[in-house]
Structure formats: structure tokens, C-alpha cells
Chains A and B, each alone.
Chain A
Amino acid sequence: MPAIFPKSSDKYVKMAGAAIGLLVVGGVALYAYASYPTVIETGYQPKQPVPYSHKTHAGNLGMDCYYCHSTVYKAAYAAVPATETCMNCHTKVKTDSPRLEKVRQSYATGQPIPWVQIHKLPDYVYFNHQVHLSAGVSCVSCHGRIDQMVEVKEEKPLNMAWCLDCHRNPAPNLRPAELVTKLDWVPDRDPAEIGREIIAAKHLNPPTNCSGCHR
């Protein structure tokens, strides 16, 4: 009985096998890459209901972060300011700008402005702004140069490995607590050395056990 397939077809079977194998490995690799927090989270920049520019307010005008995010040093949450806070100035400045229409509306009707959340941790993670600020971790360490962003985007991955990097070696990210909102602060000597001094002075011991954050 003659063979149904010629001998040369063996070659194609082997090639097909290799192709399927490559496809599987490639698929897994692509999935792993695409779902990694640095890829999927970093760079998230949704459109906000009001085109508020952090660069104008915090950068050019030099307003302190605390002016609007006023509860950040005394609570776990860094609260987004009430519409009232915007209107403290905007009853005098740019009172008829069309870009501020929604702010004026919110102030008149009492309805909140639906800001879109950018930096979001999962519900199973406990994070407290207050303790980080009083330890001397600057806003810039987690949020980047917000004062240079016209539209805020997520700059850091906010994944667990990234949190742990700092919890294991916090020294480079520490500065005197009164300087945490100075986003453009440049240390005059080795930042790690300053960090070590702060750790010693404040007896800092960031948790690296699971229940530190997953409580």
C-alpha cells in the first residue's frame, strides 16, 4: 500500500508543532506583559469633567498641595477638595471662564463634581496618607511631578512589588516632613544619608509583613 502522505509532509507536521508551541509561549508572554501593573496602570490619564490644571495652580502659581488636599496629613484619605475650595478664589478670578462652568454649577446646585479617580488601590489594600506624610515620604514619590502635569496621569505602577521596594529600603524616599509638598526639592547631599538620619530620628520601621497592608 502506497503512503497517503509523501515523506516530505513530516517536515510540515514538525513546523506546525513548533508554530503552535511558539504561539502558546508568545500568547502567555504577551498576556503576562500586558497585564503587568507597570503596563496596565502606568499612564492612565482619564478625561476629567473640569479641565483643571495642576501645572497652573501648583506649578506656576506655587500653591501648596495642602491648600486643596487639606485632610491628607490627618486622615487615611487624601480628600479631593469641596467645590467651595475652588470658589474661594474663583469668585474673584476668572469668574466667567467657560472652563469653570461645571464648578459654578456645582456651587450653585450643591451637586458634587464627578472627578475621575486616577490613583486607585484595590479594596484589600490598606493605605494611609497620614502616616506616610508624617514619616517624610513626599507626594512626588508616589504621584510624580503633579505640579508639571496639565492633566494628571498615573506615573507610578502602584503595584505591590513597587510598594515593597520602598518599604524594604525607605531611605532614598525620605525627607524632612515639612518638605513633603515641595515637589521640586533637590537634596543638597546624598538623599539616602538624609533618609537614614530620619529613620534613626523617627524610629521608622515600615512593615513588610502581609498584614501591614492587607489587614
Chain B
Amino acid sequence: MKMKSDLIQLTGATGKKYWRSLGELADTKDFRNWVHREFPEGASEMLDSASRRTLLKLMGASFGLAGLTACRRPEHHILPMSKGIEGYVPGKAYYYATAFSHAGAVTGLVVETHDGRPTKIEGNPDHPFSLGAANAFAQASVLDLYDPDRSTDVLRDGKKVTWDAWTGAVNDVSAKFGQGEGLRFLSERVTSPSLDAVRTAALQKYPKAKWTEYDPINSDQPLAATQIAFGEPMHAHYDFSKADVVVSLDSDFLGLDTATVLPIKQFSKRRRVANEEDTMNRLYMVESQYSITGAMADHRKRMRTADVPEFASQLLNAVSGLTVVGGDKWLNALAKELNAKKGKSVVIAGPRQDVYTHLVALQLNELLGNVGEMVADEEGVVWRDR
């Protein structure tokens, strides 16, 4: 009977299996225990009066004994290097320029190091995409270096091996591939020239191999849209500092969806009014969730993500002067303002939107005369990808 009911449960299970933590996916003993306990270990312990008393006892004892450790001055050591580094001054902060790649966009950074340990990350003022600022992801990336999950050794089948073993293994493996039949490389999006050179060299050595890029945060949809529109995948460079009207179709360009540093600088520049001639820009936002951009918007319309494509085509119709079926006051006002500010607006679609919405956004920019003026940088309309 027991087995049967288990089978019924299994046969009833359809669709995708979702999980919320790696522990749940692996279904480890610890995880089952954790679920069973309801409260994590230590949190439920306190409810028990006997163990609380034990805790207080231990605390009292450790406070009492803490004084004893001060009876002797602890010995501190100074550990100079065995062989010095030329020009290096211990205790002085050194700054290194580097770049941080996130979601396929690169931000120039300056990293502060103390005695060889990176401690603080800031934007590189000389980098055009940073101008001295860095976003939360870049700021937090310094913690990656101290991540306890980061491997500190070469591992093979989970066991520590030497660097020589690694070199040997690589030589062994690379000898087997020949022309590279059946060989696949998987990497994050290649934005670094050095990695690009490695890729070129690898594909030259193994002409039949394939290199695949994958990023969980990507810009596949806008690339696909530009592929359809221009015949090749391209990245748009928006210049928000010149835009009087900004329309965001589910794009959190001030928050999480882009390399936010430059958009924030450009956008906020147009929010500052220093003298009588200065005007402020206006931000329209259509989105399904609360985002930073939505919070900044002058006019925010909440809408299901799936309804945004329809809204986009309605907007396109309204801007073109066609009759809009199901359009409302909000839409008409927006279309009117876009038409009044031709060539001075930006329409941007977000990564959760499909190719269709991106195509409509491209068309809107084209129609409003933004391309080449607003949407592009000086070097050309858009730069080629790959």
C-alpha cells in the first residue's frame, strides 16, 4: 500500500521542478533536517529553559575568565617579506585600474589594495562608462576574492593536486582533440580583448570546435531585434543626457537591467536645474514590478509584462497618427509629447520583453528621429557586436 501511494504521488507530478536553494535541489540530509526543525538550530534552543541557563552560565564564566588573558602582553609579530618588491612601501595603499564585466557591459574601476589585499572598489574617473562611479555589483565584487567557496587549489575529482598535474592534464586532453570534432567551449560573454584573443587562438587550433557564450543576464532580445532590423546584431548606446522625454518599456535602466552607472549620470544630469534656462526631462515607465526606474518615473503605468508588447504597438500607432484601438488618456498624452519633442527622446525596451517589443522600440526611435542623434554615440549609430 505504501509503495502504491508513493507511485501515485510520482505519477501526479508533472511540469517543471522548481527549487529555492541548492540544498533543496540536492535534497541533502541537512536540508531535510532543517525543514523538519522549522526553526534553525540555536534559534529554537532558547525556548528550552535548561539550555538557556547553561548559556548564561557559560557567558558568566567566559566574562569572568576574560580578564585573565590580559595578564600577559600578547606577542605580536612583524613579518617582513623574505625578498622585497622594488618600490613597494608596506602599509601604503596602492591603486590599480581594472575593468569589471557584468551583463556583457564593462565598467572601468580603480581598486585600492593594502599590502596586496584588495579592499575597496571605486569607478575609474578616466573611463567613459564609469566617470568615477561604480554600481552595487562592482562595489560588491571585491567580496568575491574573499569568498570561502572560491577554490584556492587545483582540484581534480574534488582532490587537491599540484599545478604540474594541471598542466599535464591539459596537455593530455589537448592532444586528444585533433581538429576539435565534438569539442565545445562554454564561456561567459567575451568582452575582454585578451579572452577574445584566447578564443581566436583556440578556434584556430581546433577549427571544428565551437565556442558558445552564455550569460544569465544577457541582451539576447535587443541583439535579435537589431539582427532583424539591420541585418547584424548591434548594441544601442543611449544618451539620456540629450533626451527630453524618456519612455521605458519594462526596462530598469537606472537599476538592474543595464550597466547603470553611465545612464544614471546622464539621466540625473537632466534632473538638475541650476538656472532659469535649464529644463528637466520627463520619464514615462511601463512595468509590471516596482523598480528603481519606476520609482524615478514622473508617470508610471503598471502593466503585466505580457501586455507591454501590445502597449508598444498602440504607442507606435498613436505616434504615427493612426487610430488606436483601446488607447487611453495616458497613452495619448505620451504620444502627443513624443511628437512634440521629435529627435529629443529615447524609447528603451527591457530584457524581459521579447523581440517584438524591441523591434517596436527601434521603430519608434527611428520614427521620432532619435537614431543617430539620441540613441547613438558620435562614432556611429551603434557598434557591431561580434
Contacts and interface: CB of A to CB of B under 8 A. Distances in A.
Contacts of A74: 89
B80 A77 contact: no
Contacts of B73: 40, 44
Contact of A82 (B75, B77, B80, B91): B80
Interface string B200-221: 0000000000000000000000
A110 B89 CA distance: 19
A83 B77 contact: no
Contacts of B90: 71, 75, 77, 79
B68 to A, nearest CB: 15
Interface residues on B, range: 10 to 19
A130 B8 CA distance: 78
A198 B79 CA distance: 36
Contact of A109 (B78, B82, B84): B82
A75 B91 contact: yes
Given A79-B90, A84-B82, A110-B82, 7 more contacts: A46-B75, A71-B89, A71-B91, A75-B89, A79-B91, A82-B83, A115-B79
B93 to A, nearest CB: 10
B36 interface: no
Contacts of A107: 82-83
Contacts of B80: 79-83, 112-113, 115
B82 A83 contact: yes
A91 B92 CA distance: 30
Interface string B60-87: 0000000000000101111111111000
Interface of B: 73, 75-84, 89-92
A82 B84 contact: yes
Interface in A66-115: 71, 74-77, 79-85, 106-107, 109-115
Most chain B Cβ neighbours within 10 Å, of A71, A76, A79, A107: A79
Nearest to B90: A79
B84 A117 contact: no
Contacts of B91: 71, 75-77, 79
A77 to B, nearest CB: 4
Given A107-B82, A109-B82, A110-B83, A79 B89 contact: yes
Most chain B Cβ neighbours within 10 Å, of A82, A85, A107, A113: A82
A120 interface: yes
A112 B83 contact: no
Interface residues of A, number: 27
A117 B73 CA distance: 11
A95 B194 CA distance: 47
A80 B89 contact: no
Contacts of A111: 82
Contacts of A84: 81-84
A200 interface: no
Contacts of A106: 82
A20 interface: no
A55 B78 CA distance: 21
Nearest to A105: B82
Contact of B83 (A44, A83, A114, A115): A83
A116 interface: yes
B77 A116 contact: yes
Nearest to A107: B82
Nearest to B75: A116
7 contacts: A71-B90, A79-B91, A80-B78, A83-B80, A83-B81, A112-B82, A115-B79
Contacts of B83: 82-84, 107, 110
Contacts of B92: 71, 75-76
Contacts of A76: 91-92
A113 B78 CA distance: 8
B118 to A, nearest CB: 19
Interface string A156-171: 0000000000000000
